[in-house]
Amino acid sequence: MSDDSNLFFTCSLIELIGRITKNKRRDIVLYLGDDIKRIYSHADVFHCEPIEKVADDFIERNHISEGGYDNLTAAKYDVPGYWDVGKVFERLIEDVTSEKSRIDGIKTVYDSWLADQILNFNSDLYYQSRDYLAECYREGKIIAE
């Protein structure tokens, strides 16, 4: 289990852009396209600016329009911050991909059934352990504990 700070920043940025534009995170990954690799590769540089500015720059650069997905308003309970959500996705991607395939891992994990389930803050899935989330991902379903 590594600690990939570039992956953490990339996932947190995806989450923030999704919140700002009200789009599913899989759609944000599609909008960003090849910029995912650029963000991941240069996260240390992007991290020098406020993440909100970086998010605005990529929203404008990739013409990301406002969507209708608002999992924050739909949440009945406290919503974790975008850094917290970024950490969950960073760990999941680390646990189910190799370091050589991080970019593909980002695309695959965010396009999976599990991504939407994690982002349903009315369930407890977000709060489950990283091992449990990785096992659910591998099994392709919520597994009994």
| Assigned domain for 104 exists | yes
- Distance of alpha carbon 110 from alpha carbon 1, whole angstroms: 20
pLDDT at 30: 98
pLDDT at 2: 58
Phi and psi torsions of 44, nearest 5°: -65, -35
pLDDT at 3: 74
How are the residues of the chain apportioned to helix, strand and coil, as percentages rounded to the nearest 5? 65, 0, 35
| Assigned domain for 12 exists | yes
Range of the domain at 85: 5-139
| Assigned domain for 145 exists | no
pLDDT at 144: 77
User: In the chain, how many domains are there?
Assistant: 1
Q: Give the CA dihedral 60, 65, 70, 73, nearest 10 degrees.
A: 60
pTM: 0.95
Cβ(46)–Cβ(92) below 8 Å:
no
pLDDT along the chain (145 residues), means of 10: 86 98 98 98 96 98 97 94 98 94 97 96 93 96 82
| Assigned domain for 144 exists | no
